[in-house]
Amino acid sequence: MEKHIVKVLKTEFVTHNVKRFTLERPKGYTFVSGQATDVSINKPELTDELRPFTLTSLNSDDHLEFTIKIYTGHNGITEKLLNVNVGDELIVHEVFGTINYHDKGLFIAGGAGITPFISIFRELTKQKDIAGNVLLFANRTEKDIILKDELDAMLGENHIDVLSDQSPGKTGKHIDRQLLKQYTGPQIKNYYICGPDEFVSAIKEDLIELQVPEKQIITEQ
């Protein structure tokens, strides 16, 4: 299996629990926006603990980038990534297909499910072809929204945040069938969904109930 040891060039938090890693790019390493690779930490006890993460950089960049949600409390790989910083090493493997962009459409993301869409939107912005795409982005609170400012800059009013926060003074909302109905129709040819398994299944079921042909629904492969 192809693997490359790469140094960490930069790390930073983009939300309270999402950490961005900028890495060296191996010579000849290529990918398509929306693709992922298995990543491990280059320490003897961790090299075989591979986890899939989506690349959020562009194939034209001189570096690799991952934007990773950190889950604490169970000593998993993302928690160990908290202690990975500049000068440390990660191991990246061959890329594999997750969500491929076909044409303009409705993007539906839940939490860290936004990551394959980040690279897709950046590439479309670079190509000046992002107009006509719409994003429904589900999170609990505004502080959980990954790269909100950049998404606003790229998509403008076509970036719609849906927040489930029901704390005092807040009206929690979800991406449900009623909301989806406002954004479906014959003018939409592609529906891209990414997020937790339960989220993806529920959204897909709702879209089918709204008479969206299953062949137009694109999920992780």
Cα(73)–Cα(209) distance, integer angstroms:
38
Q: What is the mean pLDDT of the chain?
A: 96
Q: Answer for the pair 95, 35: CB distance below 8 angstroms, yes or no.
A: yes
What domains does the chain contain, in order, with CATH numbers? 3-96 (2.40.30.10), 106-218 (3.40.50.80)
Collapsing DSSP to helix, strand or coil, 9 comes out as: strand
Cα(79)–Cα(34) distance, integer angstroms:
24
- 143, exposed or middle or buried, with CB in 10 Å at 0-12, 13-18, 19+? exposed
pTM: 0.95
% the chain with pLDDT above 70 = 100
Q: What pLDDT, in 10s, does the model give residues 22-32?
A: 999 999 999 99
Mean pLDDT of 130-144: 97
- Looking at residue 208, its pLDDT comes to 97
Would you say residue 181 has pLDDT above 80?
A: yes
Would you say residue 1 has pLDDT above 80?
A: no
Q: Answer for the pair 128, 96: CB distance below 8 angstroms, yes or no.
A: no
Mean pLDDT of 179-200: 95
Cα(109)–Cα(203) distance, integer angstroms:
10
Mean pLDDT of 75-90: 95
Confidence of residue 166 (pLDDT cuts 50, 70, 90): confident
**Chain-centre distance of CA 9, in angstroms?**
21
Number of H helices, E strands in the chain: 5, 11
Q: Which of 111-120, 149-158, 169-178, 190-199 has the lowest mean pLDDT?
A: 169-178
- Looking at residue 221, its pLDDT comes to 78
More confident residue, 89 or 171: 89
Mean pLDDT of 116-145: 97
Strand ordering across the sheet containing 134-139: 159-163, 134-139, 106-110, 191-194, 217-218
Collapsing DSSP to helix, strand or coil, 167 comes out as: coil
- Looking at residue 179, its pLDDT comes to 96
Cα(135)–Cα(156) distance, integer angstroms:
10
- Looking at residue 5, its pLDDT comes to 98
The contacts of residue 41 (CB under 8 Å, 6+ apart) are 47, 49, 77, 80, 81, 84, 88, 89, 90, 91
User: Quick one: which of 39, 48, 147 has its CA closest to 93?
Assistant: 39
Confidence of residue 171 (pLDDT cuts 50, 70, 90): confident
Q: Which of 7-11, 48-52, 127-131, 185-189 has the lowest mean pLDDT?
A: 185-189
